[in-house]
Structure 1
Amino acid sequence: MTDWVRETLHRDYAQALRVEKMLYDSKTEHQRLKVFENGTFGRVLTLDDVVQTTEGDNFIYHEMMTHVPILAHGAAKRVLIIGGGDGGMAREVLRHKSVEHVTMVEIDAGVVDFSKRYLPMLSQGAFDDTRLTLVIDDGAAFMRATQDKFDVIIVDSTDPIGPGEVLFTDTFYGHAKRALTPSGILVTQNGVPFMQGDELTNTMRAFKALFADWRCYLATIPTYAGGPMAFGWGTDGDAGAVSVEVLADRFAAAGIETAYYTPEVHKGAFALPGYVKRLMP
Structure 2
Amino acid sequence: MSDYQETLYEGYGQRFRIEKMLHEVRTEHQHLVIFQNPVMGRVMALDGVIQTTEADEYIYHEMLTHVPIFAHGAAKRVLIIGGGDGGMLREVCKHASVEHITMVEIDATVVDMCKTYLPEHSKGAFEDSRLNLVIDDGMRFVANTRETFDVIISDSTDPIGPGEVLFSENFYQACHRCLNEGGILVTQNGTPFMQLGGVKNTAGRLRGVFADWHFYQAAVPTYIGGAMAFAWGATRSDYRKLPVETLHRRFAGSGIVTRYYNPAIHVGAFALPQYVLQAVNKPSNA
Pick the TM interval, shorter chain: over 0.9
Secondary structure of the structure 1 residue equivalent to 2:208: helix
Task: Write the mapping of 1:227-242 to structure 2, written as runs, cut at 5 A.
Answer: 227-237=226-236, 238-242=238-242
Partner of 1:260: 260
CA distance in structure 2 between the partners assigned to 1:279 and 1:9 by the alignment: 22
Alignment of 1:143-158 (within 5 A): 143-158=142-157
Q: What CA distance in whole angstroms lies between the structure 2 residues aligned with 1:199 and 1:82?
A: 19
Q: C-alpha deviations, 1:51-90, integer Å up to 9, x for none?
A: 1011000000000000000000000000000000000000
Q: Please list the CA deviations of residues 144-198 of structure 1 after superposition, one character each: whole Å capped at 9, or x if unmatched.
A: 0011110000000000000000101001110000000110000010000000011
The answer for the alignment partner of 1:49 in structure 2 is: 48
| Number of aligned residues | 280
Aligned equivalents of 2:221, 2:267: Cα separation in 1: 21
The residue aligned with 2:94 is 95
Gaps of 5+ in 2: 282-286
In the aligned structure 1, how far is the partner of 2:259 from the partner of 2:118?
A: 19
1:25, distance to aligned residue in structure 2 (A): 0.8
**Distance in 2 separating the partners of 1:78 and 1:242:** 21
Residue 12 of structure 1 deviates from its aligned partner by 2.9
Shift of 1:42: 0.4
Amino acid at match of 1:98: S
Residue aligned with 1:210, SS: coil
User: Which letter does structure 1 place at the counterpart of 2:196?
Assistant: G
1:171 alignment partner, SS class: helix
Alignment of 1:83-122 (within 5 A): 83-122=82-121
CA distance in 1, matches of 2:277, 2:76: 32
Identity rate of aligned residues, in percent?
60
Q: Which residue of 2 aligns with 1:271?
A: 271
Q: Structure 1: which amino acid aligns with 2:58?
A: F
Separation of aligned partners in 1, 2:38 and 2:122 = 21
Q: Which runs of 4+ in 1 moved over 6 A?
A: none
Structure 1 position 211, deviation (Å): 1.1
Distance, in Å, in 1 between the alignment partners of 2:11 and 2:199 is 19
SS at match of 1:25: strand
Residue in structure 2 matched with residue 223 of structure 1 by the alignment: 222
Corresponding position of 1:182: 181
Note the C-alpha offset of 1:241: 1.7
Q: Write the distance in 2 (CA, Å) between the matches of 1:258 and 1:127.
A: 20
| Aligned residue type for 2:74 | A
State the Cα deviation string for residues 14-51 of structure 1 (Å, max 9, x = none).
11111111000111111111000011110000001211
- Could you list the runs of 5+ residues in structure 1 that have no partner in the other structure? none
> What secondary structure, in the 3-state scheme, does the structure 1 residue paired with 2:133 have?
strand
Q: What is the RMSD computed on CA atoms of the aligned residues?
A: 0.8
- Give me the whole-angstrom Cα distance separating, in 1, the residues matched to 2:233 and 2:47: 30
- The answer on 1:141 being equivalent to 2:140 is yes
After TM superposition, give the deviation of residue 257 of structure 1 in Å.
0.8
CA distance in 1, matches of 2:86, 2:235: 28
**What corresponds to 1:80 in structure 2?**
79
**C-alpha deviation, 1:275, in angstroms:** 1.5
